[in-house]
């Protein structure tokens, strides 16, 4: 009998009626944002001057073509930074569970570091971090 009551309470907890407040809040938030954008476009000033229509360049006069080629080294270093930065994030769960993982966990982390060291050595051998052209 108790298991039947538990199943009934579980089914009642997962009914769609319980999600109604969340749906109403999402609708209200979306409606509020749309209303505020509409009001600001209707009530706000509409003075189009040459200064307001000019491209914002942080006070520096723009010159040349914006589509000029850029060295791929910048992007490569950025991607490598993200790759090795994310590697450091994976050390946190290991540090938190250091004692409970034991030697098995230690060898797994050593293998994880070894894989990244092999990748790092490959990057250095390919010259991806050399800046001179």
d(Cα 42, Cα 32) in Å, to the nearest integer?
15
The pTM for the full model equals 0.44
d(Cα 113, Cα 107) in Å, to the nearest integer?
10
Strands (E), 1-133: none
| Nearest one of 79, 101, 76, 81 to 91, comparing CA atoms | 101
Candidate from 3-12, 39-48, 67-76 with smallest mean pLDDT: 3-12
Per-residue model confidence as pLDDT tens digits over 84-128 = 888 888 888 888 888 888 899 899 989 998 998 998 899 889 887
Instruction: Give the whole-number percent of the chain exceeding pLDDT 90.
Output: 23
* DSSP 8-state symbol, 103: H
Length of the chain: 133
């Amino acid at each position: 009998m108790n298991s039947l009551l538990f199943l009934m309470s579980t089914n009642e907890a997962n009914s769609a009626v319980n999600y109604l407040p969340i749906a109403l809040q999402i609708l209200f938030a979306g409606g509020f944002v749309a209303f505020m954008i509409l009001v600001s476009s209707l009530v706000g000033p509409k003075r189009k001057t040459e200064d307001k229509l000019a491209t914002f360049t942080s006070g520096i006069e723009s010159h040349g073509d914006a589509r000029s080629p850029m060295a791929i080294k910048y992007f490569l270093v950025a991607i490598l930074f993200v790759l090795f930065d994310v590697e450091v994030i994976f050390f946190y769960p290991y540090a938190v569970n250091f004692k409970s993982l034991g030697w098995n966990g230690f060898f797994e982390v050593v293998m994880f570091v070894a894989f990244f060291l092999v990748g790092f050595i490959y990057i250095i051998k390919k010259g991806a971090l050399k800046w001179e052209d």
